[in-house]
Structure 1
Amino acid sequence: MPGTTGGRSLLEKHSIDVVPAEERHGRPWHQFTLWFGANLQITAVVDGALAVVFGADALWAIIGLLIGNIAGGVVMALHSAQGPRLGLPQMISSRAQFGVYGAVIPLVLAILMYLGFASTGAVLAGQAVNVITGWQNQALGIVVFGVLTAAVATMGYRYIHVLGRIATIAGLLGFGYLTFRLFAQYDVGALLGAKAFAPASFLTAIALAAGWQLTYGPYVADYSRYLPAQTPQHKTFWATFGGSVLGSQWSMSLGALLAALPLAADAGFLGNQVGFLGQLGGPGAFTVFIALVVLIGKLTVNTLNAYGGFMSLLTTVSAFTGRSRIRQAVRVLYICGFLLLSVLIAVGASADFLGNFKSLVLLLLMVFIPWSAINLVDYYLISKERVDIPALYDVNGRYGKWNRAALLSYAAGVLVQIPFLAQTLYTGPFAAALGSADISWLVGLVVSAAIYYPWAKRLVSRRTDEHAQRSQ
């Protein structure tokens, strides 16, 4: 029966195959706790701090972050609402737009995204492990964190949601306490309005938050696909949107305030993020408690990255093998191989964490905005939520190997953003004219959707006419 578990086992049975109706389970509010817990964590705090680091006043940074979280959260939650209807991971449904082989292009970029977030997250999690254990070797903390992530990701969907609920409780306690301590120890009001409004840094704050939300798009439906197919779409949407936006905004606002503290640039938050939060929490057991909260939050989101990375790797390989199911031993190897690579990257790339993280978020935003626009336009406006699931696994099916309309619209959506980019290594001419404000994400969203929609609509009309002629 729908809603039943279909028998419990330690390891999840399904991967990129369709989840059968009799194995669907869960409730929409589970999406809220998963995404709230995954976003109430220290990397989101760092993301909010970046808005102040790169020039925004704390007040305007918080407002900009809210705008970005809402705008990106809408797109992200629209992807999540696809999960119960299709019963599939997010990226395999991209074959309906890009073709079975064509979908490999955004898939490879998705794998790079998961690696980037898993690696940067492991740096902060390694700090938390060391605070809890008293170790001095950061590499050892990163490795231990990688092992914990592998354990949960291997067990799969059900346990990831359990971890999300644990992270929600831990986050409410830990971040509630940290917020109280911040207001008790510092004159927070003096941090607001200390600088004049700067349009460029305000737009950067919006881009940072929007990028944070939008980069969840390629895997958010992975964690709603077990919900019963009859689950109302609006409930899935609002549960995901609410959890992700509320969790992110709280974390990012805290980060913006911490970065605005006078001591932040010296021996404060920006120099040692986990250590400073521990000091803010208080001595002894309070420091360890905050480090544990940090660890649980990072474990939740990094498990999502590992699970999504595994799904993307398998989806890429299956495009050429035609297989949709794999043995559990192979599943474990995929996950462990992905995490091993992320740990190696984390150990070797922790020096310029803040600068690299800003570049990563904005760069990934550049390549995933066009993908999101095409996927959502096709699913909600062109195909009207109808997907030929068997054809997703067949290169000779209706979706074919390559879809020129989607691929060229995607390429145009990426290329048109280049003049609007404001990156560490490159600032486009239009971005420079705007004072190094990065609005490339908005340009890419509009252009890719504007190109793809009429093109795809015309193709659908042509196929309909041809079918009608053959039927006469």
Structure 2
Amino acid sequence: MSQSDFVEARSFEHIPERERHGNVTAQFQLWFMINATLITLFTGAVGTLYKLDLGWTLVAIVAGSIFGTLFQAFHGAQGPRMGLPQMIQSRVQFGSRGAVLPLAAAMLCQFGFAVFFIQTGAQSIADVTRLAYPHALQIAFGITAMAVAIIGYRLVLQVERFASCATLINLVLLTVAAFTLLPLRSMLSQHHFTMVPFLAQFGASATYQIAIAPIVSDYTRYLPSRTKGSAVSCAVFFGTMVSAVWLESLGAALSIAFPSTDLIASIRDLGDRFGYGLGSGTMIVSAFSCLIACAVTIYSGTVAVLSAAEAFRPIRSTVSLRAATIACGGVLAIIAVISMPQNILDSFSAFLSLLGYFLIPWTAINLTDYYFVRRGAFSITDIMDPNGGIYRKWNSAGIISYACGFTAMIPFFSTSLYTGPIAMLLDRADIAFSVGLFAATAVYLFLMRRFDRAGELDIVARAPLNTLDAHVRTAGGARAAAYVSAADI
């Protein structure tokens, strides 16, 4: 294999059919591993922080995960059809330069996750090796993740194929250990339901899944375009949801069983008590999982950066450009890790809330446009035009809808930094995400009510590169309209 084949050169560009590869099974393994890190444990501990009992915490975890995963799964089908990374697709709804708004939010989200993956992975290594140089471990861990991100997509898929098997075995053993050693029956017999903790856990689990939405097409775009969209969505949905629910449930049980102990230390102790080297093995698997997940988030954060920059100045993506951008982003993430407070759970809870507020209006607008307004019919040529082409530099419909969705959430915000007046009336219950989804969707549909889809289909059909089938491409807009529908996606 040549260097050009091994080291990825693509960034924000469209992936031509000759470079497409992979299958749905590999996608399931990839998305299973995205959430199969110890950082996911912390998401499951949100409800128990507010004294919610284990039974209702598990209900909130499952319900919230299903709700949030639906959004990221629907994004998954966009990748093979459009051949584009996730966030550059926002140029359709926001304009080539207007898309900088959601691109900035996605960039902060992905590099923010990288910070927590570096911290958690380095801590896992320290627990096994007993090394007393945390900053040195964090730096080494971050540099290794940057190297994996630079090599890119093919390496990630190859590694995930084997890592998913090891992780699955590890999770099964941890689950057996939990049923064997933890007083689960006693914990499940205690009933203490209150709405605020339930909503907090539901929102945390949902937001944790929605946070993956900005990177989904970054990886599904390499699948052959003939890949069925529903199959891709199912692979993304079940892959991320299974690992998220599994680990969040373990995190909830451990946080109740060991309320004064750090979750990573708790799961290490659980493995040690079970025996067979499970504690050390869990830390090793965790470090490896965090390494790959960190590389994935740095990779996608870099794609967002270059996508935003390319709207203002034409850029040709090269290996050296990708490497330099990844290195800069990785160094900033490492500096942030070294500067972080030690109480990661408090930091992570606040981070989840903030990133959800910025991402929710975007996912509502993007999915509404893709499935209900344009119904999967796009000109890739115009999306890749820095001047926006038919989508213009600034698209007021997307920008206004985003602003309205975000503004509508403000009275419902419930964080340690700010609590909105309506959230105060609701006893600090955080339902902002549902308000943002509804408001952004409603405003966008209203603003696009006079959208001339037939006229745009005619233009799209004549574009050199578009999402219409090859035999439709030359038939004009009227015939294209007969082929492109939600059912084709």
Taking structure 2 as the reference length, the TM-score comes to 0.90
Letter paired with 1:175: L
The answer for the alignment partner of 1:20 in structure 2 is 16
Alpha carbons 1:412, 1:447 under 8 Å: kept: yes
The answer for the alignment partner of 1:306 in structure 2 is 298
Alpha-carbon distance between aligned partners in 2 of 1:287 and 1:69, rounded to the nearest angstrom: 27
1:356 aligns with 2:352: no
Letter paired with 1:293: V
**Which residue of 134, 140, 148 corresponds with 1:152?**
148
1:422 aligns with 2:414: yes
Gapped regions of structure 2 (runs ≥ 5) = 460-476, 478-489
SS of the equivalent of 2:226 reads coil
1:410 aligns with 2:398: no
The answer for the alignment partner of 1:236 in structure 2 is 232
The answer for the alignment partner of 1:62 in structure 2 is 58
Alpha-carbon distance between aligned partners in 2 of 1:31 and 1:55, rounded to the nearest angstrom: 37
CA 1:135–1:392 in 2, change beyond 3 Å: closer, same or farther?
same
Residues 289-304 of structure 1 mapped to structure 2, 5 A cutoff: 289-304=281-296
1:179 aligns with 2:169: no
The answer for the alignment partner of 2:481 in structure 1 is none
- The Cα of 1:85 is off from its aligned counterpart by 0.3
The answer for the alignment partner of 2:103 in structure 1 is 107
1:190 aligns with 2:186: yes
The answer for the alignment partner of 2:483 in structure 1 is none
How many pairs were matched up? 457
Alpha-carbon distance between aligned partners in 1 of 2:71 and 2:458, rounded to the nearest angstrom: 34
Alpha carbons 2:80, 2:224 under 8 Å: kept: yes
SS of the equivalent of 2:390 reads coil
CA 1:189–1:381 in 2, change beyond 3 Å: closer, same or farther?
same
1:71 aligns with 2:63: no
- The Cα of 1:146 is off from its aligned counterpart by 0.5
- The Cα of 1:387 is off from its aligned counterpart by 1.1
Alpha carbons 2:9, 2:317 under 8 Å: kept: no
The answer for the alignment partner of 1:265 in structure 2 is 259
SS of the equivalent of 2:214 reads coil
The answer for the alignment partner of 1:44 in structure 2 is 40
Alpha-carbon distance between aligned partners in 1 of 2:388 and 2:151, rounded to the nearest angstrom: 34
Residues 215-294 of structure 1 mapped to structure 2, 5 A cutoff: 215-261=211-257, 264-266=258-260, 268=261, 271=262, 273-282=263-272, 285-294=277-286
Alpha-carbon distance between aligned partners in 2 of 1:56 and 1:207, rounded to the nearest angstrom: 14
**Which residue of 317, 320, 324 corresponds with 1:329?**
320
Alpha carbons 1:170, 1:296 under 8 Å: kept: no
The answer for the alignment partner of 1:117 in structure 2 is 113
Alpha carbons 2:27, 2:232 under 8 Å: kept: yes
Alpha carbons 2:358, 2:406 under 8 Å: kept: yes
CA 1:216–1:466 in 2, change beyond 3 Å: closer, same or farther?
closer
Alpha-carbon distance between aligned partners in 2 of 1:103 and 1:293, rounded to the nearest angstrom: 37
Residues 388-407 of structure 1 mapped to structure 2, 5 A cutoff: 388-394=379-385, 395=387, 397-407=389-399
1:204 aligns with 2:200: yes
SS of the equivalent of 1:320 reads coil
Gapped regions of structure 1 (runs ≥ 5) = none
Letter paired with 1:342: A
**Which residue of 392, 407, 423 corresponds with 1:431?**
423
Alpha carbons 1:33, 1:168 under 8 Å: kept: yes
Alpha-carbon distance between aligned partners in 1 of 2:317 and 2:457, rounded to the nearest angstrom: 40
Once the two structures are superposed, residues 253-308 of structure 1 have per-residue CA deviations (whole angstroms, 9 ceiling, x without a partner) of 000100111xx232x2xx3x333222211168433211111112211221111011
- The Cα of 1:165 is off from its aligned counterpart by 2.3
SS of the equivalent of 2:104 reads helix
Alpha-carbon distance between aligned partners in 2 of 1:448 and 1:69, rounded to the nearest angstrom: 21
The answer for the alignment partner of 2:448 in structure 1 is 456
- The Cα of 1:171 is off from its aligned counterpart by 1.6
- The Cα of 1:66 is off from its aligned counterpart by 0.6
Alpha carbons 2:113, 2:297 under 8 Å: kept: yes
- The Cα of 1:363 is off from its aligned counterpart by 1.2
Alpha carbons 2:12, 2:317 under 8 Å: kept: no
- The Cα of 1:203 is off from its aligned counterpart by 1.0
Letter paired with 1:316: A
Alpha carbons 1:65, 1:252 under 8 Å: kept: yes
The answer for the alignment partner of 1:385 in structure 2 is 376
Taking structure 1 as the reference length, the TM-score comes to 0.93
Alpha carbons 2:46, 2:200 under 8 Å: kept: no
